[in-house]
């Protein structure tokens, strides 16, 4: 099973991904973790990403897709995976789908966690992660960037017929129950 877990910062993607991982026996795949691993292991892709990030630029869509494709080819992902934080753009979604089609595969489900903006802000500010950008003003900016740049990916997956919107408000178990009912 190949799942895209989608939603704005603070929606609970990481928490739900861990529960899905346990229930379905598939691994969570975070693009941030992939970047760090390649950089740490000084792979060719890692060197390319580090150079881009060190120059203050964003990693281009094609390089992000290349990193994810390289990772999902590993045997540990044969049973499937949960994509968390990827794809962030429609171009990434299209390029990754093209890769999957070339292997005779596809995304089975895109689960979108829907949470009102005021609840997202409350969650992020109460997480206590101590990020420098965890102020009400900066969180609002991050959510606006998500709406402009990442939310269009939902439209892409709606067109492919794999998107399901889930109410992301409630207890962790209630939300997980809604997700598993969609995946059943």
Residues assigned a catalytic role: 13, 88, 127, 131, 142
CA distances from 112 to 52, 82, 92, 109, 116 (A): 30, 13, 17, 10, 13
State how far the Cα of 47 lies from the Cα of 34, in Å rounded to an integer. 13
Other C-beta atoms closer than 10 Å to the C-beta of 154 total 19
Pair type for strands 27-30 and 81-84: parallel
Q: Which of 8, 28, 27, 34 shows the shortest CA–CA distance to 119?
A: 8
Give the CA count within 13 Å in the CB-facing half-sphere of 140. 4
Assign 150 to helix, strand or coil.
helix
């Amino acid at each position: 099973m190949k799942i895209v877990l989608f939603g704005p910062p603070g929606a609970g993607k990481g928490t739900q991904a861990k529960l899905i991982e346990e229930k379905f026996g598939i691994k969570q795949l975070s693009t941030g973790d992939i970047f760090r691993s390649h950089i740490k292991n000084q792979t060719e892709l890692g060197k390319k990403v580090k150079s881009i990030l060190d120059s203050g630029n964003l990693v281009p869509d094609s390089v992000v897709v290349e990193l994810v494709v390289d990772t999902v080819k590993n045997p540990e992902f044969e049973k499937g995976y949960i994509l968390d934080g990827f794809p962030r753009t429609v171009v990434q979604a299209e390029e990754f789908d093209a890769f999957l089609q070339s292997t005779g595969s596809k995304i089975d489900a895109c689960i979108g966690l829907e949470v009102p903006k005021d609840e997202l802000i409350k969650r992020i500010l109460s997480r206590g992660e101590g990020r420098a950008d965890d102020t009400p003003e900066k969180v609002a900016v991050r959510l606006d960037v998500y709406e402009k740049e990442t939310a269009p990916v939902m439209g892409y997956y709606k067109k492919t017929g794999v998107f399901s919107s889930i109410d992301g408000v409630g207890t962790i178990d209630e939300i997980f129950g809604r997700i598993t009912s969609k995946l059943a």
